[in-house]
Amino acid sequence: MRKAMKKLAAISLTAAMAGTMLAGCGNGNSDANSKSTDSKESSGASSESGAASAVDTSEHVDLTMYLIGERTPDFDEVYGKINEILEKKLNCSLNVEFLSWGEHDTKYSLLFSSQENFDLIFTASSWCHYEQTVALGGFAPLSEDFIKTYAPGIWDVVPKVAWDQAKIDGKIYMVPNYANEFGQDVIAVRGDLMKKYGIDKISSWDDLVKFYKACAADGIYAGQGELWFTYFQSKGYSITGGAPQGGELVLYNMQDPNDLEFKYILDWDGFRDYCHQMKELADAGCWSKDILNSTDERQTGLLTGKTATLIWNLGSCMTYAKQANAEHPDWNVTIVDPNASQPKKVNSYINNGVGINANSKHKERAMMVLNEFYTNPEVYDLAMLGIEGKHWEAVGDNQYKVIDESGYGVSKNCNWGWNNAKIQRTEFIENRTPLDDTYDALKEAFNNNIKPEHVYDGFNFDATKVSTQFAAVEAALGNYYSPLKNGLVDDVDKTIEEMKAALESAGIKDVLDEMNRQAAEYVAKKKAN
Partner 1 sequence: MKTKKSGFKGFLKKLYMYRAFLLMLAPAVIYTLIFAYYPMTGIVMAFKKYNYAGGIWGSPWNGFENFKFFFLSGQAGLVTRNTVLYNALFIAVNTIAQIAAAILLTEIHNKYFRKITQSLMFLPYFISWVIVGVMAFNIFSSDYGFLNRILTFFGKEKVSFYTTPEVWPFILLFFSVWKGIGYGSVMYLAAIMGIDTSIYEAAKIDGANVFQRIFKVTIPMIMPTTVILLLLSVGGIFKGNFDMFYNLVGGNGLLYNYTDVIDTLTFRALISSNDFGMSAAVGLYQSVLCFVTILLVNKLVGLYDKDYTLF
Q: Which of residues 6-35 bind partner 1 (CB under 8 A)?
A: 6, 9-10, 13
Among residues 404, 478, 491, 517, which is the contact residue for partner 1, using CB under 8 A?
478
**Three state DSSP letters for 472-527:** HHHHHHCCCHHHHHCCCCCCHHHHHHHHHHHHHHHCHHHHHHHHHHHHHHHHHHHH
Q: Which stretch binds partner 1 (CB under 8 A): 19-27, 47-55, 126-134, 420-428?
A: 126-134
Q: Does 280 bind partner 1 (CB under 8 A)?
A: no
All residues at 6 or more sequence positions from 142 whose CB lies less than 8 Å from its CB, including other chains = 171, 172, 173, 174, 175, 356, 367
Least distance CB 54 / partner 1 (angstroms): 31
**DSSP category for residue 136:** T
Nearer to partner 1, 199 or 220 (CB): 220
The Cα 135–Cα 133 span in angstroms is 5
Determine the interface stretch with partner 1 among 178-186, 292-300, 346-354, 379-387 (rule: CB under 8 A): 292-300
Q: Is 153 in the site for partner 1 (CB under 8 A)?
A: no
- 463 touches partner 1 by CB under 8 A: yes
One residue of 310, 469, 487, 511 binding partner 1 per CB under 8 A: 469
Nearer of residues 9 and 445 to partner 1, judged by Cβ = 9
Does residue 480 belong to the site contacting partner 1 (CB under 8 A)?
A: yes
- Assess 350 for contact with partner 1 (CB under 8 A): no
Contact predicate 378/424, CB 8 Å: no
The DSSP code sequence of 174-234 is EEE-B---B---EEEEEHHHHHHTT-----SHHHHHHHHHHHHHHTSB--SS--HHHHHHH
Q: Does 304 bind partner 1 (CB under 8 A)?
A: no
Residues 189-248 that bind partner 1 (CB under 8 A): 246
Contact 347, 183 (CB under 8 A): yes
Nearest to 123 by CA among 136, 133, 113, 137: 133
Three-class secondary structure of residue 338 per DSSP = coil
Q: Can you tell me the distance from the alpha carbon of 135 to that of 138, in angstroms, rounded to the nearest whole number?
A: 8
> Measured from the CB atom, is 442 or 499 closer to partner 1?
499
Tell me the C-alpha distance between 522 and 38, whole Å.
Answer: 43
Residue 274 touches partner 1, criterion: CB under 8 A: no
In the list 505, 513, 521, 526, the residue contacting partner 1 (rule: CB under 8 A) is 505
Contact call for residue 117 and partner 1 (CB under 8 A): no
2 scored as a contact of partner 1 (CB under 8 A): yes
Q: Does residue 109 belong to the site contacting partner 1 (CB under 8 A)?
A: yes
Q: Which residues bind partner 1 (CB under 8 A)?
A: 2, 5-6, 9-10, 13, 105, 108-109, 112-113, 115, 129, 132-133, 135-138, 246, 288-290, 292-295, 358, 463, 467-476, 478-483, 488-489, 502, 505-507
